[in-house]
Amino acid sequence: MKLYFENSQGKERLIAECETLEEIHEHISNFLDEHNFKHYYTRSWGDSEGVTIDVGSHSEFFKIKGISYSDYIKELQKDDEPEEQYHQITMDEYLESLQNL
């Protein structure tokens, strides 16, 4: 897998080539530390081509290429406790859940 950083102008640069998601997340954490950026949440989305990770800037992103989004979520779930599992839903399901609040 390859980890890229995409700046606010949309230019990508290679950060690292990694074998595991643990390595990917370590590189992201190190990158944020080196740039004195404190993040309070992580949001991700993607497709069969790769994964995009937003750590709060809303204009700069990390991109993981070489893994589909569905495989990314499956890998994250392997390490999670059962109560912390990720669940993908459609936009319709999300909107419906808001109506039930």
pLDDT of 2 > 70? The answer is yes
Exposure of 41 by Cβ count < 10 A (0-12 exposed, 13-18 middle, 19+ buried)?
Answer: exposed
Task: Return the beta strands (E) in 1-101 as ranges.
Answer: 2-6, 12-17, 43-47, 50-54, 61-65
**What per-residue confidence (pLDDT) applies to 72?**
93
**pTM of the predicted model as reported, rounded to 2 decimal places:** 0.74
**What per-residue confidence (pLDDT) applies to 63?**
97
The residue to which tokens 């569905």 are assigned? 70
Domain boundaries, position 95:
2-99
Give the pair of three-digit tokens for residue 38.
Answer: 């404190």
Please write the tens of the pLDDT for every residue from 5-19.
999 999 999 999 999
Say how many domains are in the chain.
1
Q: How confident is the model at residue 88 (pLDDT cuts 50, 70, 90)?
A: low
Q: CB under 8 Å to 76, separation ≥6 — which residues?
A: 21, 86
Please write the tens of the pLDDT for every residue from 29-67.
999 999 998 888 888 999 988 999 999 888 999 999 999
